[in-house]
A and B are shown apart, each in its own frame.
Chain A
């Protein structure tokens, strides 16, 4: 029986890790569908961002209440992982609470703190379910969350509640079996635990074999639940628990107002002013494409941004266009980018290489009207707790519209003409520039 459990355990680890790494490889491939961009400068600043923004969740603390609630789930996630380490060793070796005999004094303290966190996680998840589904918080009611995204968010909270309840029930049954001197539970007595001792009340009066069954079933469901959750991550907004760290590392360090340069355009303009610098042999092989129409035109960092997005909507709540009822929603830009990257990834998996599906991120997912409404105010960039830059994608799509499609609102076309001919966005003669000095 023991050995059968060990074999089953090893099998489930192999399957879950195998499936997870397969999906992560696909996501990695999808991210690198984007254009290469070398980001390897200012290591100290970047690690500082990882510490402050990802580990320290600095931007979450703009709203203290939510930050503390979220912190419990986050700490629960990180710290309870220590316990999962023990569970995995137990599962493989067939031992029971393998760490207990080595740290007899510390062990109950550790488990008690895990239990405290588990209970906190349950409470916070319930609060978050209420916030999402009952309270009138606008960013949870937007159109782009209809369907799968809001189900996903609720599912994450439910899974966490279930996992933590299983963990507490397992401990409850375990400590009751210890008290009943049932081996192997009683070999290293830990005493009743902080929270699960209350759960024990539910099990009181249960015969020993039922308690053993309860302990085993909770142990198994808890760890299988974790394996399933691991494999759920790549399909969910919950992937941010992993990607927030690299995303903070690779975040832009330049002032937010700076828009990234296009050296190809810079060079073309240079040659038009100084033709003598232009290469004599024109390279006919490369038709340069300006701006971005689809995933492959964006930088890989933009796609990493999209996979990191946790769809919280802080960006859209701060967006002046979104808040005044325009179609633009920075969160939707990120969700669309991820959905399109997934679609292209699936296309590649199915056909071996990308086969034209006559769709694109621009037009089929993100419309011109959305892009036009952006004021480039950087509120979305400033808000994002996981260092995402929606504005960078918006600008690249705008570049494609203007430079590849010559598509711009008529007022902008007039403005371009004015800048070109009069060197000002309005139709004034350059000579009138100094008129104000004469008055």
Chain B
């Protein structure tokens, strides 16, 4: 599978309808790369004319802004917006809720106006339109799956239904954790926590959250954020449940079911 890069596409006079914003985790983190590939596979199969920015993409600035470094955020935003505007990007999809939130909510007042959707929203649309057809006897049929709400998708942007409706299409048994949707407990990675050790306390946030997921007896924890995925995977390992429970992104679940 060849991944189209925006600079090449434009150089060849093509105008991709959709920009796939991969994000730093999706580009560099080995676990998240699998999610990126799964999602790219789906885009490819569905036949959407998309492109990535490739080496021109930069951090959106989400973690630095939340850590308090507004200067660094503005520098990243300025460069990204310039690039996106130069390519006349109109529609962006991303598998990272942090990138999603920044691109969608924080870039417009800095001059970056795009239609930004999260990959779970696109997957939902594609399923609804019949462009993604789930295999009849998919590998997740009847399996118990619990969905962990990403804060930056859920509370931050009120997206609770898209990921759930995609999971329903898998014909799996969807079970909710005690704290879900608006009350969902954070995985512990947001606000630049991903990049530092936690403060002193009685427990790690991801451990607390994964215990809640384990209580559902689900065999799969579905995530929709690369950081949540890392935190939940680590949490499951710390609870020594990695042989029973797998943490998978919704894009991976779909890629394996079509």
Chain B 199-230 interface 0/1 with A at a Cβ cutoff of 8 Å (1 = within): 11111110111000000000000000000000
Bound CA–CA A392/B74 (angstroms): 18
Are B106's CB and A258's CB within 8 A? Answer: yes
Partner of B200, one of A326, A399, A419: A326
Are A424's CB and B74's CB within 8 A? Answer: no
Assess whether B185 is interfacial by the CB under 8 Å rule. yes
Are A426's CB and B24's CB within 8 A? Answer: yes
Partner of B70, one of A258, A265, A381, A432: A265
Q: Nearest CB to that of B110 among chain A residues?
A: A266
Chain A interface (Cβ < 8 Å from any Cβ of B): 62, 254-259, 261-262, 265-266, 268-270, 272-273, 290-291, 318, 320-321, 323-328, 369, 372-379, 381-382, 395, 398-403, 408-409, 411-412, 415-416, 419-420, 423-426, 428, 430-437, 439
Are A379's CB and B155's CB within 8 A? Answer: yes
Bound CA–CA A344/B62 (angstroms): 34
Beyond A258-B105, A415-B63, is A401–B68 a contact (Cβ under 8 Å)?
Answer: yes
Minimum CB–CB distance for B9 against chain A, Å: 14
Are A433's CB and B201's CB within 8 A? Answer: no
Neighbouring B residues of A378 by C-beta, 8 Å: 151, 155-156
Neighbouring A residues of B201 by C-beta, 8 Å: 321, 324-326, 373
Are B69's CB and A382's CB within 8 A? Answer: no
Are B185's CB and A320's CB within 8 A? Answer: yes
Minimum CB–CB distance for B155 against chain A, Å: 4
Neighbouring B residues of A261 by C-beta, 8 Å: 106, 109-110
Beyond A265-B70, A273-B78, A374-B191, is A257–B198 a contact (Cβ under 8 Å)?
Answer: no
- What total of A-B pairs shows CB separation below 8 Å? 211
Main secondary structure of the interface of A (DSSP, over half): helix
Are B158's CB and A255's CB within 8 A? Answer: yes
Which of B10-18, B50-58, B160-168, B247-255 touches A? B50-58
Minimum CB–CB distance for A66 against chain B, Å: 15
Are A255's CB and B66's CB within 8 A? Answer: no
Are A437's CB and B3's CB within 8 A? Answer: yes
Partner of B199, one of A321, A381, A434: A321
Are A415's CB and B67's CB within 8 A? Answer: yes
Minimum CB–CB distance for B176 against chain A, Å: 16
Are B75's CB and A436's CB within 8 A? Answer: no
Contact residues of B between 1 and 35, Cβ < 8 Å to A: 2-3, 5, 22, 24, 26-29, 33
Bound CA–CA A374/B201 (angstroms): 13
Bound CA–CA A137/B194 (angstroms): 31
Minimum CB–CB distance for B82 against chain A, Å: 8
Neighbouring B residues of A262 by C-beta, 8 Å: 70, 74
Minimum CB–CB distance for A198 against chain B, Å: 42
Assess whether B45 is interfacial by the CB under 8 Å rule. no
Neighbouring B residues of A374 by C-beta, 8 Å: 191
Bound CA–CA A271/B66 (angstroms): 23
Are B197's CB and A411's CB within 8 A? Answer: yes
Bound CA–CA A326/B209 (angstroms): 15
Are B70's CB and A324's CB within 8 A? Answer: no
Neighbouring A residues of B199 by C-beta, 8 Å: 321, 326-328, 369, 372-373
Q: Nearest CB to that of A399 among chain B residues?
A: B68
Chain B interface (Cβ < 8 Å from any Cβ of A): 2-3, 5, 22, 24, 26-29, 33, 36-37, 52, 54-55, 57-59, 61, 63-72, 74-76, 78-79, 101, 104-106, 109-110, 151-152, 155-158, 182-183, 185-186, 188-205, 207-209
Neighbouring B residues of A320 by C-beta, 8 Å: 185-186, 188, 205, 208-209
Are A324's CB and B105's CB within 8 A? Answer: no
Partner of A379, one of B5, B52, B186: B186
Beyond A377-B190, A402-B69, is A412–B76 a contact (Cβ under 8 Å)?
Answer: no
List 5 A–B pairs whose Cβ atoms lie within 8 Å, in order of A's numbering: A321-B205, A373-B199, A402-B67, A402-B69, A433-B57
Partner of A269, one of B5, B58, B75, B156: B75
Q: Which 8 A-B pairs have the closest CB atoms?
A: A257-B156, A325-B202, A376-B191, A398-B68, A325-B201, A402-B68, A377-B186, A423-B58
Q: Nearest CB to that of A396 among chain B residues?
A: B68
Neighbouring A residues of B75 by C-beta, 8 Å: 269, 272, 420
Are A425's CB and B202's CB within 8 A? Answer: no
Minimum CB–CB distance for A52 against chain B, Å: 15
Q: Nearest CB to that of A262 among chain B residues?
A: B70
Bound CA–CA A323/B183 (angstroms): 13
Neighbouring A residues of B65 by C-beta, 8 Å: 259
Partner of A419, one of B28, B61, B105, B205: B61
Bound CA–CA A219/B151 (angstroms): 53
Bound CA–CA A369/B204 (angstroms): 16
Bound CA–CA A434/B27 (angstroms): 7
Partner of B195, one of A258, A401, A425: A425
Neighbouring A residues of B190 by C-beta, 8 Å: 375-377
Neighbouring A residues of B110 by C-beta, 8 Å: 261, 266
Are B24's CB and A411's CB within 8 A? Answer: no
Are B157's CB and A433's CB within 8 A? Answer: no
Partner of A416, one of B37, B64, B182: B64
Minimum CB–CB distance for A89 against chain B, Å: 46
Are A257's CB and B208's CB within 8 A? Answer: no
Partner of A324, one of B58, B155, B158, B204: B204
Are B28's CB and A432's CB within 8 A? Answer: yes
Are A416's CB and B66's CB within 8 A? Answer: no
Minimum CB–CB distance for A375 against chain B, Å: 4
Are A257's CB and B101's CB within 8 A? Answer: yes
Partner of A395, one of B66, B157, B195, B204: B66
Neighbouring A residues of B74 by C-beta, 8 Å: 262, 265-266, 268-269
Are A324's CB and B205's CB within 8 A? Answer: yes
Are A434's CB and B5's CB within 8 A? Answer: yes
Bound CA–CA A10/B96 (angstroms): 65
Are B195's CB and A433's CB within 8 A? Answer: no
Are A382's CB and B182's CB within 8 A? Answer: yes
Are B105's CB and A257's CB within 8 A? Answer: yes
The CB with the most chain B CB atoms within 10 A, among A268, A400, A420, is that of A420
Given contacts A268-B74, A324-B208, 12 further A-B contacts (CB under 8 A): A255-B104, A262-B74, A265-B70, A269-B75, A273-B78, A290-B70, A324-B202, A326-B198, A373-B199, A376-B66, A412-B67, A415-B196
Minimum CB–CB distance for A369 against chain B, Å: 6
Bound CA–CA A48/B24 (angstroms): 40
